[in-house]
Amino acid sequence: MRQFRPPELAAHIQSGHTPVLLDVREPWEWNLCRLPGAILIPMRELPARLSELNKNAETVVICHHGVRSYHAARYLETAGFVDVVNLAGGVAAWADEVDPAMPRY
């Protein structure tokens, strides 16, 4: 599985790539801050909602610090997803490295 640090993901998107940004945090976390264009499927709901996702699309998995997203990304790979990327450092690192205006928690 690939991993991007936030600046790498920002550059990837700016260069014209359009990955699915899959946020696996809880709704209360999502309500505090999120990456633009991300979709929310909490990690606990992921097995039941796999059909909502395209197994062939580049999918970047996001959480608070990158741990839950790493496990969710590994799960997606075992479920047959072909291009999965973990956002190392999560939204906390995104706020530190890309968007200092993003709320932190």
Q: Look at residue 103 and tell me if it is in a domain.
A: no
The pLDDT score that the predictor gives to residue 70 is 98
Q: Is 12 exposed, middle or buried (0-12, 13-18, 19+ CB in 10 A)?
A: middle
Question: What's the pLDDT score for residue 35?
Answer: 97
**Tens-of-pLDDT digits for all 105 residues of the chain?**
899 999 999 999 999 999 999 999 999 999 999 999 999 999 999 999 999 999 999 999 999 999 999 999 999 999 999 999 999 999 999 999 999 999 999
In CATH, what number is assigned to the domain containing residue 89? 3.40.250.10
Per DSSP, the residues of the chain read -EEE-HHHHHHHHHTT---EEEE-S-HHHHHH---TT-EE--GGGHHHHGGGS-TTS-EEEE-SSSHHHHHHHHHHHHTT-SSEEEETTHHHHHHHHT-TTS---
- Give the pLDDT confidence score for residue 69 in this predicted structure: 98
| Structural domains in the chain (count) | 1
**Catalytic residue of the set 9, 33, 63, 84:** 63
**Closest-CA residue to 64 (of 15, 30, 14, 99):** 30
Task: Please tell me the predicted confidence (pLDDT) of residue 14.
Answer: 97
Q: Residue 58 domain-assigned?
A: yes
Question: Looking at residue 20, what is its pLDDT?
Answer: 98
Residue 102 lies in a domain: no
Residue 34 lies in a domain: yes
Domain that holds residue 62: 2-97
Q: Is 63 a catalytic residue?
A: yes
